[in-house]
Structure 1
Amino acid sequence: MKSLLYKLHANPKYARAFEWGKLVSVTGSAQMLVQGIALISGIFIIRLLPTDEYALYTLANTMLGTISLLADGGISTGTLATGGKVWQDPVALGKVVVTGMEMRKKFAIASLAISLPILFYLLISHGATWMSSTLIAVSLIPAFYAALSDNLLEIPLKLNQDITPLQKNQVAANIARILMLVASLFFLPFTFIAILANGLPRIWANIKLRKVGERFADYSQGSDPEVKREILKMVKRTMPSAIYFCVSSQITIWLISIYGNTASIAKIGALGRLAVVLTIFTTLFSTLVVPRFARLSDDPKVLLSRFIQIVLLLFGMSALICGFVYLFPSQVLYILGKNYGDLHEEILLITISGCIGMVGGITYSLSVARGWILPPAVHISVSILAQALLIYFMDLSDTTNVLMFSIINVGIGLIMSSFYFFYRVLKHNS
């Protein structure tokens, strides 16, 4: 038996399988814990906040995601792609990350200036007072500050595949988050309290993450003009898409906030909390697969083979998830409480939308990791045309129609990103 195990470990193919099995088991178990805690935190928020407060929380949390994307503007993908070329050199990698951090701070000011007035308008239009709106806006700042740096600080660990410290950091942040939520919302069930409890633990975790990453990146380095130019090249190509994605990624909430009512916002927000389970798979792929895909040689056959394997695996997982929700909707909705127990059709639709969005997002990340950016003129024009037609022909005051809109929207994105990858591989091969 021992000799058989030794032979298996000595075989390169089996050795690689064992390595992947170890990585997936470590990362997967940690992510299940992280997302499990995140799901429990979300359920606490849903159950402890009144429906009208939870609707405001959904709007604020959606805007947080939007301004974080806008402040990124493609900087994180540019930093990952540039860092992938020098990942074995701590000094060079440190320059790349520091440069990305400085660029993102400048983008953050413009992002806040654009987004906060819009948030105020939406909050006021859905019943928030000026005092409540101000407290919510101020409470977003710690979470926004944390979002500016966490995914950049993860890059050295991801590129060097030092996954365990990264997972420990995420677990610690989520445990601190749920403790703050439980301790505060029982006594002060307000939106701004829930948002503060989300942001403060992440700031603490980022301080720890920076120290861990110093093994692979020298953060004492200054910003490098050449690195900045390299990242800006990708930012210029991705910025139009990033701005568009800021709106389109949360278009379900935006449409409901415009055409629907406060109760509909709360329903969509609550259902979206269950879709957090998909984050386990997204994080697994972004942590383990995308950085390794960025390091592959420029062999078209290898790139095409790996891409097809990844996409088929994603579709297989999506089918299992959607099948489970279809068979057991009542059991899934029980988690949210009695206020949301009758949303059987809606939970299936939002799961399908989330799965298609997950596959589309990962295929896009794979292309970007190779430095292949779908031309914004094509991507945005096709998407906006499709969305305009859907808005014209669909009754978007109905929650079900909004979710169908979301499915079609993310489906178009998946088709475009996949076809563009195949086009670039074939072009490179010729």
Structure 2
Amino acid sequence: MPPIKRALIFLTGSAVAQAAASLTGLLLARWLIIEDYAIYTIMIAITGAVTVLTRSGVHLGFSTLLGRSWPDLTRAGQILRAAVHLRRIVSMFMLPPVMAVTVYLLWENGAGSWLVLAMLGLLFLYWWADMRTQMLDQVLYFDKQTTKVQTLDTLLSIARACFVATLFLSGGLTVIWAVMASVGVAIARMVPIGIWVRRKLPQPPHELVPSDRETLRQTVMKEMPVTIFVVFQGQIVLLVLSLAATSAEVAGYGALTRITQLLVPVQAFVFAFAVPIFAKRKAHLGRTLTTLVGLCTAPGLFLVATALVFPAGLLWLVGPNYADLHTEIVLACIMAMLIRTAGALRGLVSHRGWLTYNWLSIPINLAWIAAAPFVFDLGTISGALMFQMGFSLGTITSALVDFAVARKRGL
């Protein structure tokens, strides 16, 4: 199938999947009480942090090695084993502090002991399922099986939406069931992804090649400080709101970010198409990078324009509890556009193994953190959103420096 046709099919499926996921999030914003939605907002943020932290650099090294060796399937199996092995080790160090932060944020937002324990159990289940799908699906993307993966994700998103709607109609919808629905999608994804990858790769056990482990370890060591800091950036907003405001502000922030999840297909496009394209490209890298990042930015510009022209329409999606956040919805859309664009740029550059100056984002964003309390009211949703959007500065700067230095060296 031609690449353009595959991309169009993928984006169509991604749009349907995201429409179902967004519908679920928006319905939860409408149906859950404000206090419960604040808890849900925290859990969605933490599950995202678990994925990012436990993959810390592993997925970048994995894509780099896979891009160099593809379509050698024996090597793909070896690289996958080394990547999964190292991710388990990284998880041993990352999960305990994530669990501790989860407990603190939940308590600050009024969760009782039993609810906290239930959420920790669900968080562990999510990590367990994520370990068995993330990176495996990258093999399928390299093998041009994106349509198959996207169909699965679309069906699971629709099933989740139907499950949540059924619970609401039956009067049984609570924050625990809402989080369970998200975790259930991750668990349901395991079996088909595992079957498809096993059909493609040679039968295990695959050899654990020391050079692969060392390459991946070096990538993790380069990436881990920045990854930890990036996750810290995301959680500091919720932490500040939890300390300086009430659960109503936390819920409002979460509701607005649900609307900005309409841009999630951009991230799916980056990993399914843009990364393999850019990782294997041998010439015209600057033009290719500009084109791919431009494609990733366009949906964000459209969302910002919609928020400026018709903010009430977007706010209607999350229900009457948040109907007066007209200024905030515009800021939320700008923030989402900047964060997605910066993430796409950094992801494309990093997946070629260009990580030397990734650390630059740390001092830049530390300076932003130091300055923000003097510029913004961080106890408000508007202040929190402007605070969040500034973190894209460090990401963009470090990616551009890495790209420029790599090209200067002829890489």
What's 2:186 paired with?
202
Q: Aligned pair in 2 of structure 1 residues 237, 80: CA closer, same or farther (>3 Å)? A: same
Distance in 1 between residues matched to 2:74 and 2:302, nearest whole Å:
44
What's 2:334 paired with?
352
Largest Rg, 1 or 2: 1
Identical aligned residues as a percent: 21
What's 2:281 paired with?
296
Per-residue Cα deviation, 1:325-379 (whole angstroms, up to 9, x for no partner): 2111111111111111111111110111111111110111111121101435422
Cα deviation, residue 241, structure 1 = 0.8
Range with greater deviation from structure 2 (200-209 or 53-62): 200-209
Confirm or deny: 8 A CA contact 2:360 2:398 kept in the other structure.
no
**What secondary structure is seen at the aligned counterpart in 1 of 2:2?**
helix
Cα deviation, residue 236, structure 1 = 1.0
Q: Is residue 2:163 matched to residue 1:180?
A: yes
Range with greater deviation from structure 2 (136-145 or 357-366): 136-145
Distance in 2 between residues matched to 1:407 and 1:182, nearest whole Å:
33
Q: 1:125 aligns with which of 89, 93, 108?
A: 108
Distance in 2 between residues matched to 1:259 and 1:147, nearest whole Å:
33
Residues 16-415 of structure 1 aligned to structure 2 (within 5 Å): 19-185=2-168, 186-218=170-202, 220-222=204-206, 223-297=208-282, 299=283, 302-415=284-397
Cα deviation, residue 149, structure 1 = 3.1
Q: Is residue 2:404 matched to residue 1:428?
A: no
Confirm or deny: 8 A CA contact 1:39 1:273 kept in the other structure.
yes
Range with greater deviation from structure 2 (192-201 or 268-277): 192-201
Q: Which amino acid aligns with 1:79?
A: F
Per-residue Cα deviation, 1:195-238 (whole angstroms, up to 9, x for no partner): 11111232122211111123432361333332211211111111
Confirm or deny: 8 A CA contact 1:98 1:219 kept in the other structure.
no
Q: Which amino acid aligns with 1:342?
A: D
Distance in 2 between residues matched to 1:73 and 1:193, nearest whole Å:
29
Per-residue Cα deviation, 1:373-407 (whole angstroms, up to 9, x for no partner): 14354221221122211134432112211111122
**What secondary structure is seen at the aligned counterpart in 1 of 2:134?**
helix
Query: Which 5+ residue runs of structure 2 have no aligned equivalent?
Result: none
**What secondary structure is seen at the aligned counterpart in 2 of 1:249?**
helix
Cα deviation, residue 415, structure 1 = 3.3
With normalisation by structure 2, the TM-score equals 0.94
Q: Aligned pair in 2 of structure 1 residues 277, 326: CA closer, same or farther (>3 Å)? A: same
Per-residue Cα deviation, 1:290-320 (whole angstroms, up to 9, x for no partner): 11110112x4xx1112112223333444322
Confirm or deny: 8 A CA contact 1:42 1:273 kept in the other structure.
yes
Distance in 2 between residues matched to 1:250 and 1:104, nearest whole Å:
22
Q: Which amino acid aligns with 1:245?
A: V
Distance in 1 between residues matched to 2:238 and 2:290, nearest whole Å:
32
Q: Which amino acid aligns with 1:57?
A: Y
Distance in 1 between residues matched to 2:11 and 2:298, nearest whole Å:
17
Distance in 1 between residues matched to 2:346 and 2:239, nearest whole Å:
23
**What secondary structure is seen at the aligned counterpart in 1 of 2:410?**
helix
Confirm or deny: 8 A CA contact 2:58 2:83 kept in the other structure.
yes
Distance in 2 between residues matched to 1:409 and 1:419, nearest whole Å:
16
Q: RMSD of the alignment, in Å?
A: 1.9
Cα deviation, residue 194, structure 1 = 1.2
Cα deviation, residue 417, structure 1 = 1.8
Q: Aligned pair in 2 of structure 1 residues 192, 317: CA closer, same or farther (>3 Å)? A: closer
Distance in 1 between residues matched to 2:321 and 2:350, nearest whole Å:
41
Per-residue Cα deviation, 1:138-194 (whole angstroms, up to 9, x for no partner): 122222222223221111111122211111121122123223323335433322221
Range with greater deviation from structure 2 (193-202 or 183-192): 183-192
What's 1:7 paired with?
none
With normalisation by structure 1, the TM-score equals 0.90
Range with greater deviation from structure 2 (145-154 or 83-92): 145-154
Cα deviation, residue 250, structure 1 = 4.2
